[in-house]
Amino acid sequence: MKLKTTFMKNLIILSVFALIGLTSCKKQMNENQDLPNNGSSAKKFNEIKTSEKFDWKTTNELTFNYVGIPTIQPVKTTLTISSEDGKIVFYAGTQDMSSNFQTKLVVPTNMSNLVVKYGAVSKTYNTNVSIISFDILPTLVD
Amino acid sequence: MKKLLLSIVTGLLITANTHAQTALPILNAESGNRSLEQANCWSFGSASYTNATGLPITGSWSILSNSPSNPSIGACWIKTPWIKPGSGNITLKYKNQSSTAGSIRRIILSYIPHNAADPGNIKEGTLVRFDSISYSSPFPTTSQNLSFAIPAAIANSTVPYKVMISLVGVGGNSGSRLIVDDISVPGTYFADPANNCLPQVQILDKDGDGVADNLDEYPEDKDRAYNVQVPNASASTLMFEDLWPATGDYDFNDFVAAYDAVAITNADNKVVEVKITSNVMAIGASYNNGFAVQFDGLKPDLVQSVKGNITNNSKYSTFNDNGTEAGQDFLNILVFDQARALFPGVGGSGINVNPEGPFVNSEKVTVTIAFNTAKESAIEIKDLKLNPYIIVNQNREIEVHLPDYAPTGLANKKFFGTEKDNSNFEKGVYYKTKNNLPFAIKVEGLVPHMIEKQDILSGYPKLADWAASEGKEYANWYNASEGFRQNKLLIYLEGVK
């Protein structure tokens, strides 16, 4: 009887460990399944498979639009587009407040935000877009 | 006398950026967009524009008060921008939406002096009420022409004021609002929409180029105003394989260089100069390559001069009088003709590719390209499309460019389509293999390069995922994030992160 009890105890302990082990394996398997199937099997550069459309650029190209507004008298000041820390200036130029302006920006893919300044107006934009439109119109509050 | 002369000279150096003297236009709401007026420094407190049927007094739009339930001067108002008041009368048109709902309707006029010491953003002083008109029921529902004299205290002032028109009342509901139109306030516009609508100030502009000194990178040089990163040429690391059209060991360290290009523009946004800075970080092969940049689409004669490049009386290139490379359709600048010459006294085939060192710094090369700024030939930032490349082992006929960047006119076309190269000129495909693999990579920022003979994937494993996903995954494959680099296979020179 004692032998049977001991056997049962061992069986239960083994089952618990097995369950824990299986759960761990399952989690591991799920984590692996969550990894994107994106060609990471390439171990050598010449094993990489990629579309002929891929351009290998580590930059994104954005279109920037300054939307001019009619002004009572001519107003000109400096328009700047820079990284958030201001260290990289992607554009700086004299801008007439009432004239439209468009330019292309080439922004590193590892840069998530751009800061646009016109006079005292400053706005931050995410770079995860193809077009940035900037104006100095205030937000209406009724 | 000396002091007098000095003050005259200083006065000449500091040019005031004077604004035109413009009369404040009539506010008639016809823009239909109140924010346009706000951008021009009018301000509105609980007053809106309306084009509802039967409400506009003149034209298609008028200004509508809130539901008048509070006679306080601040309940509903319109403020002019900062003006230098003139003399005469402030005029406006008024009617009420309904004749009977409510007990009082009142239009109150006040002026606000400027107070530079105001800790807030709007710099308004204490409001002074100077006139008003009140109506009791029944209110006028047809247009009334109202006129209020500008008080003597501010008439023809040389300092700025705002005029505030309050539209208030007691009783009634949303159907009994005040409507005004064609507000005319005699005075000279004196607000600066680019500076929080504060009063205009004289701007220091020592060089007189129209760019205020605090915004001018070159405040004492009228020909220069701004520094701008050249598109697609931000501080980056260029990594080349140099066996093109054959492929190599893909360690991308045959030629590694830090590369940066900044344009200097003038107040008219024309490019005055481009400064290309480069220093070689590694040479992982035996070839002695040159480094050059083509300005795609630009003619060589747009350039006045080229200074700072190191050509060692190049045996393979000749130059135009302005320093650009001769025989090219597009503007080409030879930055340096021999990478190895930038490491004086350093021998051996590999430089900075052995993890044991020694590590040496190359001579830093900064080339200044001065452009013509005459109107007919001046270029702008958008015209700058830089195409950096290497000239392989002193052979001017063999170039290696970044993927899909065209060769220059001096590259021998006979090599294209041979060995592993799969360029297709008709499709604009250049310097790629049949499997779309490049012969050179440009990475933003200064990043470590591979040690000799180690495939780049062993140092940057996420590069494969990035390429296979067409750039959608692991766009930051070169970052120092955990798991993105195998540091024991990478060489970190000074300044590399």
Integer Cα distance of B292 and B338 in angstroms: 11
Pair A96, A78: CB distance under 8 Å: no
Mean pLDDT of A42-68: 94
Percent of chain A surpassing pLDDT 70: 70
Domain contains B151 = yes
Chain B nearest-CA distance from A42, in A, is 6
The number of angstroms, rounded, from the C-alpha of B172 to the middle of its chain's C-alpha atoms is 51
Q: Do B225 and A94 touch (CB under 8 A)?
A: yes
Pair B125, B112: CB distance under 8 Å: yes
**Which residues of A, range 104-123, sit inside 8 Å of B by Cβ?**
104-106, 108-111, 118-121
Closest residue to A46, CB basis, from B228, B234, B250: B250
Q: Which amino acid is at B348?
A: G
Q: Does domain A59-134 have CATH number 2.60.40?
A: yes
| Helix, strand, or coil (residue A19) | helix
Chain A / chain B CB contacts < 8 angstroms:
194
Domain count, chain B: 2
Q: Please determine, for residue B240, whether its predicted confidence score (pLDDT) is greater than 50.
A: yes
Q: Do A89 and B228 touch (CB under 8 A)?
A: yes
Quick one: B51 and B145 in the same domain?
Answer: yes
Q: Please determine, for residue A39, whether its predicted confidence score (pLDDT) is greater than 80.
A: no
Among B85, B80, B81, B79, smallest CA distance to B159 is for: B85
Q: Please determine, for residue A4, whether its predicted confidence score (pLDDT) is greater than 60.
A: no
Percent of chain B surpassing pLDDT 90: 87
Structural domain boundaries, residue B232:
226-491
Q: Please determine, for residue A12, whether its predicted confidence score (pLDDT) is greater than 70.
A: no
**pLDDT value for B426:** 96
**Which residues of A, range 16-75, sit inside 8 Å of B by Cβ?**
36, 38-40, 42-59, 69-75
- The per-residue pLDDT for range B315-367, each reduced to its tens digit, is 899 999 999 999 999 999 999 999 999 998 887 779 999 999 899 999 999 99
- The per-residue pLDDT for range B90-146, each reduced to its tens digit, is 999 999 998 888 889 999 999 999 999 999 889 999 999 999 999 998 999 999 999
**pLDDT value for B377:** 85
Q: Do B444 and A53 touch (CB under 8 A)?
A: no
- The per-residue pLDDT for range B161-211, each reduced to its tens digit, is 999 999 999 987 778 899 999 999 999 999 999 999 999 998 899 999 999
DSSP one-letter code for B99: S
Average pLDDT along chain B:
93
Q: Between vectors from CA B40 to CA B35 and to CA B41, what angle results, nearest 5°? A: 90
Pair A79, A118: CB distance under 8 Å: yes
Q: Do B403 and A53 touch (CB under 8 A)?
A: no
Mean pLDDT of B371-398: 94
Integer Cα distance of B497 and B493 in angstroms: 9
Confidence of residue B16 (pLDDT cuts 50, 70, 90): very low
Instruction: State yes or no: ipTM above 0.95.
Output: no
**Whether B7 contacts chain A with CB within 8 A:** no
Domain contains B403 = yes
Q: Do B22 and A73 touch (CB under 8 A)?
A: yes
Total Cβ atoms within 10 A of residue B186: 18
Confidence of residue A25 (pLDDT cuts 50, 70, 90): very low
Quick one: B95 and B136 in the same domain?
Answer: yes
Q: Please determine, for residue A36, whether its predicted confidence score (pLDDT) is greater than 70.
A: no
- The per-residue pLDDT for range B107-120, each reduced to its tens digit, is 999 999 999 999 98
Q: Do A76 and B210 touch (CB under 8 A)?
A: yes
Six token digits for residue B378:
């001046």
Q: Please determine, for residue B429, whether its predicted confidence score (pLDDT) is greater than 90.
A: yes
Pair B8, A114: CB distance under 8 Å: no
Q: Do B234 and A106 touch (CB under 8 A)?
A: yes
- Where is the domain boundary, B199, B234, B260? B199
**pLDDT value for B52:** 97
Quick one: B237 and B180 in the same domain?
Answer: no
Domain contains B213 = no
Kindly provide the b/e burial profile for residues A70-100, where b requires at least 16 CB atoms within 10 angstroms of the residue's own CB.
ebbbebbbbbbbbbeeeebbbbbbbbebeee
Task: State the DSSP string of B3-15.
Answer: HHHHHHHHHHHS-
Chain A nearest-CA distance from B102, in A, is 22
**pLDDT value for A141:** 63
H/E stretch holding B363 reads: none
Confidence of residue B451 (pLDDT cuts 50, 70, 90): very high
**pLDDT value for B346:** 87
Integer Cα distance of B334 and B337 in angstroms: 7
Q: Please determine, for residue A23, whether its predicted confidence score (pLDDT) is greater than 50.
A: no
**pLDDT value for B20:** 65
Please report, for the domain that includes residue B181, its CATH number: 2.60.120.260
Confidence of residue A19 (pLDDT cuts 50, 70, 90): very low
Quick one: B368 and B482 in the same domain?
Answer: yes
Report chain B's terminal Cα–Cα distance, integer Å: 59
pLDDT: is B133 or B373 the higher one? B133
Domain contains B221 = no
**pLDDT value for A28:** 34
- The per-residue pLDDT for range B293-319, each reduced to its tens digit, is 999 999 999 999 999 999 988 889 999
- With the CA atoms of A34, A38, A43 and A47 taken in that order, what torsion angle do they form, in degrees rounded to the nearest 10? 160
Q: Please tell me whether the overall predicted TM-score, pTM, comes out greater than 0.90 for this model.
A: no
Chain B partners of A138 at a C-beta cutoff of 8 Å?
35, 38-39
Q: Do B24 and A72 touch (CB under 8 A)?
A: yes
